Amino acid sequence: MRTDFRHEIPTDAKVFIAGHRGMVGSAIWRRFEAEGYHNLVGRRSSDLDLRDRDATFDFFAQQKPDYLIDAAAKVGGIYGNDAAPADFLSDNLRMQVNLLDAAKEFGLTRALFLGSSCIYPTTAPLPISEDSFMTGPVEQTNFGYAIAKATGVFQVQALRQQYGCSFISAMPCNLYGFGDNFTIPGGHAFPMLMRRLHEAVQAGDDDFLIYGTGTTLREYLHADDVADASLFLLRRYDDGAPINIGAGSEIEINKLVAMMADVIGFEGSFSHDLSKPDGVKSKIMDSGRIRSLGWEPKIGLSDGIRLVYDWFLANQDSYRR
């Protein structure tokens, strides 16, 4: 890995942020705006279906972006992924293949593909390093999404090898933030827990049911930190190997629930539905490579929970559910 790579992105460069209305994409948009970038481009899925190859190529031909950040994805929690693996595989494959092929075809300066820690095998040594990629089977409850994201890494590598494209891929850990999907039961654990705890307080419940044993460990990073890392990597990283973006620590789900309960004001007891799956015991990633380049996350989990809950309260009429 090169540590001397430097790339300056002009503030008038046209940057296409695919998925700019999602949790991660909107955070990236805010980060770029805060840095002075004023030529950002985004499209709602209702205006541009990235699964449509012709429509995607037409968009690139018309807009002529200089940079691409692929934050577009069909995402869901353990239950949504397990129930519809074909949809998660097909939709994500088509979006990322179309975007990266178009980026190559129209000669973009740089492109960043955002994947997921789920590309790594369940048997990978902890903390999970980038070298564990493709050394074993992925978690079966979300294999469709995982295989799609793993394919994105390979596409970046293939485009670099065959065409010399300066494209990169980054693998964030579990994310949370403003604009998250608070769907029950199809969402990710963090927003689903927050909404359920909020509704338990509103209903006056004296017991809160945690799905599974609650003993699994998860690494959580605020989307604003991923946005900061995305800009950092476009400026400082140029390698075909995926690079991890993690918080550097993990928390047991039971303890996460307790932290949320303190913020939200739930004062009851907790019980467990042991019929629900836990998923893998731990997924903490080794983020040593990005840290060696000089990047560190800025938002601690306790502060992050309070920030997201404040956003949730202010957006109860419009959050995704």
d(C-alpha 218, C-alpha 283), whole Å: 6
For residue 78, name the pLDDT band (cuts at 50, 70, 90).
low
List the binding residues for substrate: 196, 218, 278
Angle subtended at Cα 184 by Cα 181 and Cα 188, rounded to the nearest 5 degrees: 50
Average pLDDT score over residue span 67-72: 98
Whether pLDDT at 165 is above 90: yes
State the helix-helix crossing angle for 23-34 and 223-236, rounded to 10 degrees. Answer: 60
For residue 19, name the pLDDT band (cuts at 50, 70, 90).
very high
State the helix-helix crossing angle for 85-105 and 53-63, rounded to 10 degrees. Answer: 30
Instruction: Write down the pTM of the prediction.
Output: 0.95
Render 128-154 in DSSP notation, one character per residue. BPGGGTTSSPPPGGGHHHHHHHHHHHH
DSSP run (H or E) holding 86:
helix 85-105
Domain boundaries, the chain: 15-176+221-248+288-298
Nearest to 72, CA basis, from 26, 109, 38, 15: 26
Average pLDDT score over residue span 308-321: 87
Report the chain's C-alpha Rg in angstroms: 19
List the binding residues: 19-25, 114-117, 149, 172-175, 188, 196, 218, 278
List the binding residues for NADP(+): 19-25, 114-117, 149, 172-175, 188
**111 dihedral zone (left: phi>0; alpha: psi -120 to 50; beta):** beta
Each residue's pLDDT tens digit, 133-147: 999 999 888 899 999
State the helix-helix crossing angle for 189-203 and 301-314, rounded to 10 degrees. Answer: 60
Strands 67-70 vs 40-41: parallel, antiparallel or unpaired: unpaired
Known active-site residue 220? no
Torsion of CA 114, 118, 119, 122, to 10 degrees: 160
Which one from 67, 120, 145, 319 is the annotated catalytic residue? 145
Q: What percent of the chain has pLDDT over 90?
A: 86
For residue 79, name the pLDDT band (cuts at 50, 70, 90).
low
Each residue's pLDDT tens digit, 104-119: 999 999 999 999 999 9
> 15-176+221-248+288-298: CATH homologous superfamily?
NAD(P)-binding Rossmann-like Domain (3.40.50.720)
Torsion of CA 302, 305, 311, 317, to 10 degrees: -160
State the helix-helix crossing angle for 253-264 and 301-314, rounded to 10 degrees. Answer: 50
Each residue's pLDDT tens digit, 263-298: 999 999 999 999 988 877 888 999 999 999 999 999
Alpha helix ranges (H) inside 125-271? 143-163, 189-203, 223-236, 253-264
